[in-house]
A and B are shown apart, each in its own frame.
Chain A
């Protein structure tokens, strides 16, 4: 599998690690526990199809990326820097 890092180009998956779902960008407001926080940390749609994920180019430039990928075919449709994508 290869991921196109906007800084480094098309790189082998081995250079990357994954944190989780793209919802990780939508950190809830509020400093006390809430349903929003439970949803953010724990609950997932987890459906089959095209999803957004947060990957880290740790073996390269260190950029965090939002990767648009199918979790059924593993096809990658696009990547963007997280700094360009805000919730």
Chain B
């Protein structure tokens, strides 16, 4: 019911929204919870297990009951707290987790049989008959479990992620936080003040207190103005600090646009990674409920939440309100309600010898022992002295005390300590160095104390920063926290809820202990208390108190479970903002990209790069047509392909040769200027890391190539070797992969083509196989390397990247004039398999030089990375799987990569497994499939007939083991 003259909502701006399809009206500034309350809606959800009717319990993000769906279609979000979601025009919301309408949930049948659904029941049954678990029980459980729904489509809304930096981060905008921010800012620190709700002030906006003799919200406004005046406070409202991490790094979620209709230029949420040099935690405290029988009805809520609704939102949750208190603080609710003109039926206080704080009926030494009103509270039963009586009420505010919100102090492993004076856990000193708790979050509950602690916490932070502390004046405020006395359970018949969100009662906790789950961690997992979306914010302490009581240990010895981020749940789209679609990783394009895509080449990912698969000609409809043509074209005329993606590292220094000798297994210091050599690199564990060629351009000047995939890793490896292992070597190097566009020109007419672009023509004498040197290409300084991956006469020509596109187009046009053209990766792969050249398909990380037949490349004359480990006996056994070639010899011609090798008459089982195929291609040159693979004792089995079996593709083929070089074994074509 809406109250006149109360609340900070904007009554000039009415807002219409829907809940469960029905239209409602509220005001700007209302949450869904307060707006529904204004409309007299009490039922907002159904509980998780028993599907009991539930109403709003709190006024904040700790809400366990009022979880709603927001939005429609793919934008629909589940499990939104109605107490946090502000209404906006056109907002669509609905309740969750019921079959049939909210008022008549069919699953509330569960509430008729609670004894059969007690803690851990599902571990003891659903086992028979066998097979029924997956086919019958589990699907039913899965449909009943979970809360909200998501659709398969991505939400169209966007989010952002940002880094933030400050001197002092103040978490919490209540009295302690405001004073801490003011102190820090006035002392010259750069401050971020972070507040979860839409306005600063927290309790000062709802508790009806006076500061300096005036209503507290006036002081809040003045203080906010003073903060802005300092010029270096960033105020972030609607921002929740979600986690504390190493190095005073904090995660936080800012609700940027989620309280407004969706617009494309405003992100829904922003995830902040804030690096603070110091921080103050002023996160306040959360009220805890009382575990009395039937304490979960709609209309039963936290006492302090009632006054938040009255004073901040101008609504009352009921017209006849009772309060069940164990402390003085709860009485404030009665005072505020009376001030707002709402009928306070009574305050029922469990303590003795207390006074009323206003003009209301007070029962002391009294407890609520039961309630009535399934869809909304109607009546309570109170026990006082020896007698019981009933009270009519449609709303009950309960307060079992306050739990300091200390979560962030425990995120890096600290545990809180029990303070027996306030019956609550408080942060341990120096839980996180540089994070200073102040106010209610460290157990100080009076306003004057909070104001002063805010100042002192900031002073500690400022001292740590070496800044002089300028303390602001402390205003006059209430300095009595009031007394409190714990009431962990009310002993009476009926289920008493501890965890509203997961439907865990005191009976469940007791049963858990009786069954031997006595540690607080066991109790949590067995009962699921504390594991719901609210992560036990209102139930953790109450549950462990019940456990402590039933096991006979005290609360301190029982201890808490572990506090972990996030403090409130974070949308994955927020925490992963920017990574959807292509944003996940950078895209790297070669200089020939436009030219090949213009020809319709399908592009494939090679690491982060894009390279063409093949360049189809008009009329070609299947990739094999293009690929076979391109292979033949290279073998018979000339082909051009962009090889810029291979890593290129430029190396200089007097000891560059020695450096290369240490990196490679073979000798490079003997490589003469103008020559190129193939090299093998091992990891220190003796397995092959990469292969490539290195060219010596001049004494002490080399250019190394690596494979595309390993470029980054090799660079880091070289940095390590140079800096950590061989700082004695005079060498420096840098990556030049992107600086040079490099193209392979391969085929019998390669030289003919090149002589049309080189300023000075070359021939087989001046530029023999494995020669390299500086050249001029159309007048531009370039480099030429005569190396071949196809086995044909081939060169790699390199120019500065700016000329890459132009050179590529020129080379391809000239190649076409000579009967050749551009080719892609598929053909590249066929060509190299025909020649038995290995790629990372073969050197896949489990393979040694011995395995690929390159044991001879391991120099005996010098040490190199991996040498010692490669001599381990297990790495040299003949029985190891070693590189072989394969070709089909039977009726079936198909070979597949991934097939395994067996003796012809052997069953295809693991015990008979002799090896596997790594690379396969159809060779148009030879007219049949060829493959490379690894076979036990392979080199000694050349000529043998075996079979390959690929169960996955249903292929079994008889093969002949052969040398991996299928074509031109003498290598004459490359030397021509």
Judging by beta carbons under 8 Å apart, are A31 and B247 in contact? no
Q: Tell me, yes or no, whether A58 is within 8 Å of chain B by CB.
A: yes
Judging by beta carbons under 8 Å apart, are A12 and B275 in contact? yes
Q: Tell me, yes or no, whether B199 is within 8 Å of chain A by CB.
A: no
Judging by beta carbons under 8 Å apart, are A31 and B867 in contact? yes
Q: Could you name 12 residue pairs across A and B whose Cβ atoms are closer than 8 Å?
A: A2-B249, A2-B275, A13-B247, A19-B720, A31-B863, A33-B868, A33-B872, A37-B868, A41-B684, A74-B412, A82-B723, A83-B724
Nearest residue, chain B, Cβ from A28: B868
Q: Which of B249, B719, B871 contacts A32 (CB 8 A)?
A: B871
Within the complex, what minimum Cβ distance (angstroms) separates B393 from chain A?
52
Q: Which 8 A-B pairs have the closest CB atoms?
A: A1-B246, A82-B724, A74-B246, A64-B723, A2-B247, A83-B727, A37-B868, A33-B871
Judging by beta carbons under 8 Å apart, are A41 and B249 in contact? no
* Most chain B CB inside 10 Å of its own CB: which residue of A1, A2, A27, A81: A27
Count the A residues whose beta carbon is within 8 Å of the partner chain — how many? 30
Judging by beta carbons under 8 Å apart, are A63 and B871 in contact? no
Q: Which residues of chain A have C-beta atoms less than 8 A from B628's C-beta?
A: none
Q: Tell me, yes or no, whether B869 is within 8 Å of chain A by CB.
A: yes
Q: Which residues of chain A have C-beta atoms less than 8 A from B716's C-beta?
A: 17, 56, 58
Assuming A2-B247, A64-B723, A82-B724, what are 16 further A-B pairs, CB within 8 angstroms? A1-B246, A1-B249, A27-B684, A28-B868, A30-B868, A31-B868, A32-B868, A33-B868, A33-B869, A33-B872, A41-B684, A56-B716, A56-B719, A58-B712, A58-B716, A63-B719
> Which A residues, 45 to 71, have Cβ-Cβ distances below 8 Å to chain B?
54, 56, 58, 62-64
Q: Tell me, yes or no, whether B652 is within 8 Å of chain A by CB.
A: no
Judging by beta carbons under 8 Å apart, are B719 and A64 in contact? yes
Within the complex, what minimum Cβ distance (angstroms) separates B551 from chain A?
30
Give bound CA distance, A1 to B275, whole Å.
9
Judging by beta carbons under 8 Å apart, are B869 and A24 in contact? no
Q: Which residues of chain A have C-beta atoms less than 8 A from B871's C-beta?
A: 31-33
| Chain B 684-720 near chain A by CB (<8 Å), digits 1 or 0 | 1100000000000000000000000000100010011
Q: Which residues of chain B have C-beta atoms less than 8 A from A1's C-beta?
A: 245-247, 249
Give bound CA distance, A8 to B584, whole Å.
27
* Most chain A CB inside 10 Å of its own CB: which residue of B246, B685, B720, B723: B723
Q: Which residues of chain A have C-beta atoms less than 8 A from B246's C-beta?
A: 1, 74-75
Give bound CA distance, A54 to B712, whole Å.
18
Q: Which of A2, A19, A37 contacts B869 (CB 8 A)?
A: A37
Give bound CA distance, A2 to B165, whole Å.
13
Judging by beta carbons under 8 Å apart, are A62 and B247 in contact? no
Give bound CA distance, A59 to B670, whole Å.
34
Within the complex, what minimum Cβ distance (angstroms) separates A30 from chain B?
6
Nearest residue, chain B, Cβ from A19: B720
Count the B residues whose beta carbon is within 8 Å of the partner chain — how many? 23
Q: Which residues of chain B have C-beta atoms less than 8 A from A34's C-beta?
A: 868
Within the complex, what minimum Cβ distance (angstroms) separates A4 from chain B?
11
Judging by beta carbons under 8 Å apart, are B724 and A54 in contact? yes
Give bound CA distance, A81 to B722, whole Å.
12
Q: Tell me, yes or no, whether B725 is within 8 Å of chain A by CB.
A: yes
Give bound CA distance, A34 to B867, whole Å.
12
Give bound CA distance, A34 to B868, whole Å.
8
Q: Which residues of chain B have C-beta atoms less than 8 A from A31's C-beta?
A: 863, 867-868, 871
Provide the main secondary structure of the chain B interface: mixed
Nearest residue, chain A, Cβ from B875: A33
| Chain B 279-296 near chain A by CB (<8 Å), digits 1 or 0 | 000000000000000000
Q: Which of A28, A32, A56 contacts B720 (CB 8 A)?
A: A56
Give bound CA distance, A53 to B527, whole Å.
42
Query: A86 and B720 in contact (CB under 8 A), knowing A30-B868, A41-B685, A74-B246?
Result: no
Query: A64 and B868 in contact (CB under 8 A), knowing A1-B245, A1-B249?
Result: no
Nearest residue, chain B, Cβ from A58: B716
Q: Which of B249, B723, B725 contacts A27 (CB 8 A)?
A: B725
| Chain B 102-129 near chain A by CB (<8 Å), digits 1 or 0 | 0000000000000000000000000000
Judging by beta carbons under 8 Å apart, are B249 and A64 in contact? no
Nearest residue, chain B, Cβ from A29: B863
Nearest residue, chain A, Cβ from B433: A75
Within the complex, what minimum Cβ distance (angstroms) separates A71 from chain B?
12
Within the complex, what minimum Cβ distance (angstroms) separates B273 from chain A?
8
Q: Which residues of chain B have C-beta atoms less than 8 A from A63's C-beta?
A: 719, 723
Within the complex, what minimum Cβ distance (angstroms) separates A26 from chain B?
10
Interface residues of chain A, those whose CB is within 8 Å of chain B, are 1-2, 12-13, 17, 19, 24-25, 27-28, 30-34, 37, 41, 54, 56, 58, 62-64, 73-75, 81-83, 86
Judging by beta carbons under 8 Å apart, are A25 and B249 in contact? no
Judging by beta carbons under 8 Å apart, are B719 and A62 in contact? yes
Q: Which residues of chain A have C-beta atoms less than 8 A from B720's C-beta?
A: 19, 54, 56, 64, 82
Judging by beta carbons under 8 Å apart, are B727 and A86 in contact? yes
Within the complex, what minimum Cβ distance (angstroms) separates B873 from chain A?
8
Q: Which residues of chain B have C-beta atoms less than 8 A from A58's C-beta?
A: 712, 716
Q: Which residues of chain A have C-beta atoms less than 8 A from B868's C-beta?
A: 28, 30-34, 37
Give bound CA distance, A24 to B724, whole Å.
9
Within the complex, what minimum Cβ distance (angstroms) separates A55 from chain B?
11
Within the complex, what minimum Cβ distance (angstroms) separates B719 from chain A?
5
Nearest residue, chain A, Cβ from B413: A73
| Chain B 811-823 near chain A by CB (<8 Å), digits 1 or 0 | 0000000000000
* Most chain B CB inside 10 Å of its own CB: which residue of A13, A64, A83: A64
Within the complex, what minimum Cβ distance (angstroms) separates A31 from chain B?
5
| Chain B 862-883 near chain A by CB (<8 Å), digits 1 or 0 | 0100011101100000000000
Give bound CA distance, A19 to B275, whole Å.
25
Give bound CA distance, A41 to B712, whole Å.
22
Nearest residue, chain A, Cβ from B862: A31
Q: Which of B684, B685, B723, B872 contacts A83 (CB 8 A)?
A: B723
Within the complex, what minimum Cβ distance (angstroms) separates B334 from chain A?
47
Give bound CA distance, A25 to B721, whole Å.
10
Nearest residue, chain B, Cβ from A82: B724
Give bound CA distance, A1 to B248, whole Å.
8
Give bound CA distance, A83 to B245, whole Å.
31
Within the complex, what minimum Cβ distance (angstroms) separates A40 from chain B?
8
Give bound CA distance, A75 to B248, whole Å.
11
Nearest residue, chain A, Cβ from B273: A12
Q: Which residues of chain B have C-beta atoms less than 8 A from A33's C-beta?
A: 868-869, 871-872
Give bound CA distance, A34 to B685, whole Å.
13
> Which B residues, 403 to 426, have Cβ-Cβ distances below 8 Å to chain A?
412-413
Within the complex, what minimum Cβ distance (angstroms) separates B879 from chain A?
19
Within the complex, what minimum Cβ distance (angstroms) separates B863 from chain A?
5
Give bound CA distance, A13 to B248, whole Å.
13
Give bound CA distance, A21 to B65, whole Å.
49
Give bound CA distance, A19 to B720, whole Å.
10
Within the complex, what minimum Cβ distance (angstroms) separates B668 from chain A?
18
Q: Which residues of chain B have C-beta atoms less than 8 A from A2's C-beta?
A: 247, 249, 275
Give bound CA distance, A12 to B247, whole Å.
9
> Which B residues, 232 to 249, have Cβ-Cβ distances below 8 Å to chain A?
245-247, 249
Q: Which residues of chain A have C-beta atoms less than 8 A from B413's C-beta?
A: 73
Within the complex, what minimum Cβ distance (angstroms) separates B46 from chain A?
43
Give bound CA distance, A62 to B723, whole Å.
10
Nearest residue, chain A, Cβ from B864: A31
Q: Which residues of chain A have C-beta atoms less than 8 A from B724's C-beta?
A: 24-25, 54, 64, 82-83
Give bound CA distance, A1 to B412, whole Å.
12
Q: Which residues of chain B have C-beta atoms less than 8 A from A32's C-beta?
A: 868, 871
Give bound CA distance, A2 to B867, whole Å.
36
| Chain B 249-261 near chain A by CB (<8 Å), digits 1 or 0 | 1000000000000
Give bound CA distance, A83 to B246, whole Å.
27
Give bound CA distance, A25 to B724, whole Å.
6
Q: Which residues of chain B have C-beta atoms less than 8 A from A41's C-beta?
A: 684-685, 869
Give bound CA distance, A24 to B865, whole Å.
13
Give bound CA distance, A41 to B875, whole Å.
15
Within the complex, what minimum Cβ distance (angstroms) separates B435 from chain A?
14
Give bound CA distance, A13 to B247, whole Å.
10
Give bound CA distance, A75 to B433, whole Å.
10
Nearest residue, chain B, Cβ from A22: B724
Within the complex, what minimum Cβ distance (angstroms) separates A87 from chain B?
9
